[in-house]
Structure 1
């Protein structure tokens, strides 16, 4: 049983931060409908969805993953690289703090949750415009007592590490080799995105299934050919805000008799 923390789309979504995509008109009502379908898809994959109310003051606040990290042993309040996003996290952290000891990334460190990919006890952290060396080192220090190894990974041409690579199987990753060095993930089976679908590497793994954005049919075929169960959702309006399926939720897994642990 999983819990997915989400937040409704802000009415100010069109004023979102952008770094690597051109600004395009966003239909906020359509974005809300797509987000509702995304939440329904999470429910269909076995998640209990906890949806926080929209925040008009914070255009990017639907992207809850960037403001907090959840591990089995603790939660971490990140310090987003975009200064305008640093006050978004209070409601998310209130929820996480009720089920995890809470630590924080402090200035001068910056860290976006979208730059953090956990695969077992290895935590890959993107070197990006949003996450700096001080943020990496603070996360390494917070996680070391719990047996996690933090690996810094250079990115290029994309917003976050998880724009370029995500976990899609127990020991399988989906990678855009134009945006990250594939050799970093040599210990895993690698599925490369179709070269014509540059934004296709972002996916959410829930148990043995994958929640994946519509619009990347060639890469989708590669995933299914690898035997991965895939459920697709339309997040095209959220993609205009440089969002993706990972950043719209924080997943926690509930183990029988042991409360909730990070998914």
Structure 2
């Protein structure tokens, strides 16, 4: 099957009351009444966000900063990023999320934080609570304030504290087990704190060695009930016994990042060889344009915080 260029019709604490809000620099507009018979639209910061007709999940995203060319880079060579194109591709990504039943809640871009579009790194959202991380790059720690405001509407918040560091991109949840990559962005204290915070909720935290890439989810992501997409050069499959491994194509080492929502996987069309391998393995793929954000070492999981309504 050829690579599609478009998709769908698009170009430990006690829980506080859910509605409680702390001091906030901004607020999302009031929610419209939900309507399962028609498509909803919301205007956030002057931008219209198309929502799926039936909402089962929240996707918190953040706009692309005008300063994204000043992003942190660890492994990639700095290449000019077309900001307008990056924003267009990000909008297409949001539409793909909406097509999978996600209600999009977009935090405005903040040019003080070039990497802020990669919102995944600032929080780990579970059914019972949300963990506000402490990103390994100091330049990114200010991103957390607006994210905490947005998440406080839905979850009780706990925080990773110094000297711990942890990026959300290093956390791969497989049911009640959270695999956490040891990387330059996530240290041992971060893994220990996360384990202590989540133990009362029955989650198990397993540390995983990662080598050669930015995050654990640069090397492996879940693409099926029992299937992982992986670059074996960056992480060992021995960490994931009993699961089926789909290998990235050898000429596309950065292709291991896919975002599974329900029975479909959002995946970058920049990796056509690996996309075909996914399809051959029976994975239903939604291909999205993501080339500009990839220049900032971002993948499709990086650009949203996804969680179920509870």
Shorter-chain TM-score: which interval? over 0.9
TM-score norm. by structure 2 comes to: 0.81
> 1:105 maps to which residue?
160
> 2:111 maps to which residue?
56
> 1:72 maps to which residue?
127
Which segments of structure 1 move beyond 3 Å, counting only runs of 4 or more? none
CA contact (8 A) 2:131 2:157 kept: yes
Distance in 1 (alpha carbons) for counterparts of 2:242 and 2:193? 25
Residue pairs, 1:1-263, within 5 angstroms: 1-254=56-309, 259=310
Secondary structure of the equivalent of 2:277?
helix
RMSD in angstroms over aligned alpha carbons?
0.7
Distance in 2 (alpha carbons) for counterparts of 1:57 and 1:86? 11
Q: Deviations over 1:56-109 (max 9, x none)?
A: 110000000001110111100000000000110111111212211111000010
Distance in 2 (alpha carbons) for counterparts of 1:245 and 1:106? 27
Number of equivalences? 255
Offset at residue 226 of structure 1 (A) = 1.6
Distance in 2 (alpha carbons) for counterparts of 1:5 and 1:215? 24
Secondary structure of the equivalent of 1:173?
strand
Distance in 1 (alpha carbons) for counterparts of 2:247 and 2:181? 18
Q: Max radius of gyration: which structure?
A: 2
Query: As a proportion of its length, which structure holds more helix?
Result: 1
Offset at residue 187 of structure 1 (A) = 2.1
TM-score norm. by structure 1 comes to: 0.96
Distance in 2 (alpha carbons) for counterparts of 1:44 and 1:154? 35
Offset at residue 183 of structure 1 (A) = 1.0
Distance in 2 (alpha carbons) for counterparts of 1:33 and 1:121? 35
Distance in 1 (alpha carbons) for counterparts of 2:86 and 2:166? 26
